[in-house]
Amino acid sequence: MKGMNYSLMRIICALIIGLLLVLFPAQAGEYLVITIGVVFLVPSLIGLIGYLVQKPENRLRFPIEAVGSLLFGLWLVIMPDFFADLLTFVLGFILMMGGVQQIASLMAARSWMKVPGGFYVVPLLILIAGVVTLFNPTGVRSTAFIIIGVTCLVYALSELVNWIKFSSRRPLPKDLETMKDSAEDAEILN
């Protein structure tokens, strides 16, 4: 995944989650939990079916992790309200970590260019929203999801602006050929 652009992936994920949470705050928590449950169910069913389809003499061991994943996935699908409250904690923590990550990225960008202080405002607000959500997750879940959704959208926009502004100015290695020539030849050991 050397060519993978993680900033772009963060932007897309934050945009999708933010839109879902803002447009459907009452249902978003339950549907996200049900979706996570299905994500657990599908591979567990594939593992169990794959085990049962094999000839008895070819079976290595019973896939106990598939059964655990199946039970957990069913639990998520059957009781989404319980896990929706936990999801509020998780999303608050993700926002908090997103704010910290953006602040760290801006501080790293200072090594090759000047970063105005205004660029730190949005990541700081994202960090604060994550902390507030962590300390009051169950007050009113739909209000918390709207706040988290708006903050996710702001995060996506802020990450996009930072990505456009700073990635074009990232310093490149001075001479790629020099770097290639300075690499040592390695001997392959068997």
Question: So what's the pLDDT on residue 78?
Answer: 93
Please give the full DSSP string across 113-180, using - where no structure is assigned.
Answer: S---GGGGHHHHHHHHHHHHHHHSSSSSHHHHHHHHHHHHHHHHHHHHHHHHHHHTTPPPPS-HHHHH
Answer left, alpha or beta for residue 186, where phi above 0 means left and psi between -120 and 50 means alpha.
beta
The range of the structural domain enclosing residue 152 comes to 6-168
pLDDT tens track for 94-150: 889 989 998 998 888 888 888 888 888 989 988 988 888 888 766 657 777 788 888
Asked if the structure places residue 82 within a domain, the reply is yes
- Calculate mean pLDDT across residues 46-60: 86
Report yes or no on 190 lying in a domain. no
Q: How open is the CA angle 114-120-122, to the nearest 5 degrees? A: 140
Tell me whether residue 177 is in a domain.
no
pLDDT in tens, 16-43: 888 988 888 878 878 888 888 999 999 9
The predicted structure's pLDDT at residue 140: 58
Within a domain: residue 175?
Answer: no
The three-state DSSP-derived secondary structure of 91-124 is HHHHHHHHHHHHHHHHHHHCCCCCCCHHHHHHHH
- Residue 187 lies inside a defined structural domain of this protein: no
Write down the pLDDT at residue 77.
92
More confident of the two residues 164 and 140: 164
Quote the pLDDT of residue 89: 82
Whether residue 130 lies inside any domain: the answer is yes
The reported pLDDT for the residue numbered 175 is 45
Angle at 79 between CA 75 and CA 84, to 5 degrees: 110
Output the pLDDT for position 72. 93
Q: Tell me whether residue 180 is in a domain.
A: no
- Total number of domains constituting the chain: 1
pLDDT for position 176: 46
Statement: the pTM of the whole predicted model exceeds 0.75: no
The average pLDDT across 147-176 equals 77
* Statement: residue 1 has pLDDT above 60: no
Task: Identify whether 76 is part of a domain.
Answer: yes
Residues 87 and 130 sit within 8 Å (Cβ to Cβ):
no
Q: Compute the mean pLDDT over every residue in the chain, rounded to the nearest whole number.
A: 81
pLDDT digits (tens, 9 = 90+) for 92-108: 888 899 899 989 988 88
